[in-house]
Structure 1
């Protein structure tokens, strides 16, 4: 082991010297480093700590540097910078061809995401994005709100909550609300995007993907992952194989369905059938089944994980801020005077439920579903603040810290206050992608933004109106994120529930 340690240290020294000769700068001057940067090791130790502590560190640096770009370094990795100004963010997000995910991200995420839209560039990325745009349309949202959501809400959420609900003759039973939300969003994406019934978070694919996502996240904190995985990567490789197998099954199943329907139409003399699911759009746009499978897994993971986790953190925030919960119920009573049993897309617009949408956005601000972004320069470039970045430089922006910036969100930036999203007339007032990059921006702006908004508000309306929910703290202080590429709540969100009197009456009718 001594020879290995000496080899790693000598390689780190050589790379440190090499990188020092061609590093990011501003007007020819070296960029500042965090005060705890170590000789040779740079910031490596910081990146080995638990992610919630890492987010706190990013927030501390952001306040120390007041939005100024600063340098970070880790032995064996390209030179890196952390940005936080809206001007720099706009430059990075708009210039898709100049600043991309890069090899730094792609090599670590390739096993899991492959050729999918998260990793793809050029024509392949455009083909997947076009297929996604077709799926995330107004027609899809109508079907989700009026047909799919009511069915799955009854079969999944209400069933689980009723089983756990306290009544006059039954004691409280704890239920993990994060698990319930994951079941809901997984079923919705499985049904609507891939025509797969009964998909849930306990499916072998879901468990394998969750494990692989957490493992992939650790690669960004372990510069020696290619070596260590020779010894401990067996379970990860097995999980990835399960995910890939499921993706190919989805493609094969969709192709059989398409072939059967086309044959039936031909025999019956009908017009060619129309296919409207996401997997159909991907098959029509891309010839290679492996690439279609990778893309399907990318969209499925993004659609189910981020929305479920956002709902979990929103509920958590409401349970910790009862006045917000009370105001939500007041708006629901005003917006839906005849009840919430038949919600429509038209009734879930910002003009109708501004405070509910503001609450959802405030939760997204404090608990962004993708808390950390890493990009890389494809060529030498200069940021708007004058920072010169040589080719292959890594660009990091911590959305968790950005959304707590006192420069953008005033002194109470760390407080949960939905009112900040309302104007003087009480109308919802959004922010630019450069101030609020939760849904990304520029060419890679999130395709599912509207679906996430509508689904989030629909669930909040029904949950808040129909149920009293109590968090089971079990000695917990503030809850933190588990290790993942997104933001799952560590340990889930255990709660006790009881049907509210008005909801119980409506359910009996």
Structure 2
């Protein structure tokens, strides 16, 4: 609504007891904000509300502490780790747990929450890859973190949150205790493992192992000991000396890696189920590229590149555009600033931009900006071949992955993981949304997002599932012509 009124103009917001602020609507102005981290950064306004959950982690950090965590993150999000996740970890988690859940739902003719399926998947994968731990999405920690994140989201809507929480914040405080306990556990277990590895190296008097351990510390692409790759927690321990800071940093990366990723998958599948023509096209592309048949598909990194799967990549980007996993951002000036449109901001001013609204701007994406149309991210060459053009958008036009010095470290990993999930799930299964009328917007018929700092789907995404049947030639067989002895639901 505000964007319809103000267009791309920056407008002021004023709330009693809070610093002066502006809302940015112009891609050019936003790009300036994103690139000027030194003068517009995470300030006290955001930290005061998020500190209890994120602490010293990268979401709150600035200066040297932020740079140290970013360096550790860059070390983890390496090409080697990306290949291990796609070719080893994801297939293992899918085969060991995900298939069982979907198969049981198909056989029982029961409804399954696809958001929970994705959350379970990303939690397990990130736990293994980043922390060398088995983390259960249904654990007390996961539930506590979800509750705490929701309460932090309410703080940005309630200037009197301290008073409110004093009288009605007992469950929130209990959740924070559980979250911090788990953060300490991550660090403790990692330090024990590292100490054991170092001790065994000394006991065996193996110079080769000692050299290998030292190489792991210095080179993110070296052959690794321990879990077989350079974990994020190892990088954080080596970059940050204080265990409390390491724990906060670990929790920040865990939140970004599992929550926003699972939510983006949920909204992507929701969009496809609401747009059957797009679903048909992405399945056709997947079938052609992966040569789908009745046997299991081995998916490697090269198959998941935008050049191999342009339409699949466009589907993910279009879903991110309409349902950005972080719907709004807040920063604060640390000195007087003049924005490119002439807006003058004093030190301490709040700068807000709504990614949800920017991504639906008709000025940027055309008169059909509110429609789901993956083709907007594609173009054809002279030979008629599709090419993905998403990288041609400036960070101001498409700020889903942030930009400037704080650009998303896990962008490539999220893109590749999304392509893997789309290929694997849509090659194996057919889904039907269960339109139960719950958690739906009465005016639009769209599913609502829950209150949070991110964009979880309220009530999840209930679906019915059946095994997808594909002829050996790779041609998709519609459910309507399946044999009678096939499992059919709904």
TM-score (norm 2): 0.88
Checking the alignment, whether the CA contact within 8 Å between 2:53 and 2:148 is kept in structure 1 is: yes
Checking the alignment, whether the CA contact within 8 Å between 1:92 and 1:99 is kept in structure 2 is: yes
In the alignment, the residues of structure 2 paired with residue 368 and residue 267 of structure 1 have an alpha-carbon distance, to the nearest angstrom, of 51
In structure 1, runs of 5+ residues without a counterpart are 1-59
Aligned with 1:428 (options 368, 388, 402): 388
Map Cα deviations across residues 235-294 of structure 1 (whole Å, 9 max, x no partner): 111111111110011101000000001111111122322361000000000110000000
1:343 maps onto 2:280 in alignment: no
Which residue does the alignment assign to 2:133? 196
Return the offset for 1:423.
Answer: 1.7
Aligned with 2:400 (options 413, 428, 438): 438
Return the offset for 1:503.
Answer: 9.2
Q: Which runs of 4+ in 1 moved over 6 A?
A: 503-506
1:114 maps onto 2:55 in alignment: yes
Superposition map of 1:480-499 within 5 A? 480-499=448-467
Aligned with 1:241 (options 160, 165, 177): 177
Return the offset for 1:156.
Answer: 2.2
Superposition map of 1:119-158 within 5 A? 119-158=60-99
Checking the alignment, whether the CA contact within 8 Å between 2:292 and 2:472 is kept in structure 1 is: no
Aligned with 1:404 (options 357, 360, 373): 360
Map Cα deviations across residues 9-40 of structure 1 (whole Å, 9 max, x no partner): xxxxxxxxxxxxxxxxxxxxxxxxxxxxxxxx
In structure 2, runs of 5+ residues without a counterpart are 217-223, 225-229, 475-490
In the alignment, the residues of structure 2 paired with residue 252 and residue 76 of structure 1 have an alpha-carbon distance, to the nearest angstrom, of 41
Return the offset for 1:504.
Answer: 12
Checking the alignment, whether the CA contact within 8 Å between 2:21 and 2:351 is kept in structure 1 is: yes
Checking the alignment, whether the CA contact within 8 Å between 2:429 and 2:467 is kept in structure 1 is: yes
Which residue does the alignment assign to 1:102? 43
Aligned with 2:119 (options 178, 182, 198): 182
Which residue does the alignment assign to 2:144? 208
In the alignment, the residues of structure 1 paired with residue 388 and residue 66 of structure 2 have an alpha-carbon distance, to the nearest angstrom, of 33
Which residue does the alignment assign to 1:21? none
In the alignment, the residues of structure 1 paired with residue 96 and residue 285 of structure 2 have an alpha-carbon distance, to the nearest angstrom, of 27
Return the offset for 1:338.
Answer: 5.3
Per the alignment, in what secondary structure is the counterpart of residue 165 of structure 1? helix
Map Cα deviations across residues 77-99 of structure 1 (whole Å, 9 max, x no partner): 11111111111111110111100
Which residue does the alignment assign to 1:277? 231
Per the alignment, in what secondary structure is the counterpart of residue 502 of structure 1? coil
Aligned with 2:435 (options 473, 481, 487): 473
1:370 maps onto 2:332 in alignment: no
In the alignment, the residues of structure 2 paired with residue 393 and residue 191 of structure 1 have an alpha-carbon distance, to the nearest angstrom, of 41
Map Cα deviations across residues 447-489 of structure 1 (whole Å, 9 max, x no partner): 0000000000100011111111000011242101101110000
1:413 maps onto 2:354 in alignment: no
Residues 106 and 503 of structure 1, relative CA distance in 2, 3 Å threshold = farther
In the alignment, the residues of structure 2 paired with residue 100 and residue 504 of structure 1 have an alpha-carbon distance, to the nearest angstrom, of 55
In the alignment, the residues of structure 2 paired with residue 148 and residue 336 of structure 1 have an alpha-carbon distance, to the nearest angstrom, of 19
Map Cα deviations across residues 134-190 of structure 1 (whole Å, 9 max, x no partner): 001110110001100001111222110001004xxx5x2000000010000000010
TM-score (norm 1): 0.85
Which residue does the alignment assign to 1:5? none
Tell me the number of residue pairs that the alignment of Structure 1 and Structure 2 aligns.
Answer: 442
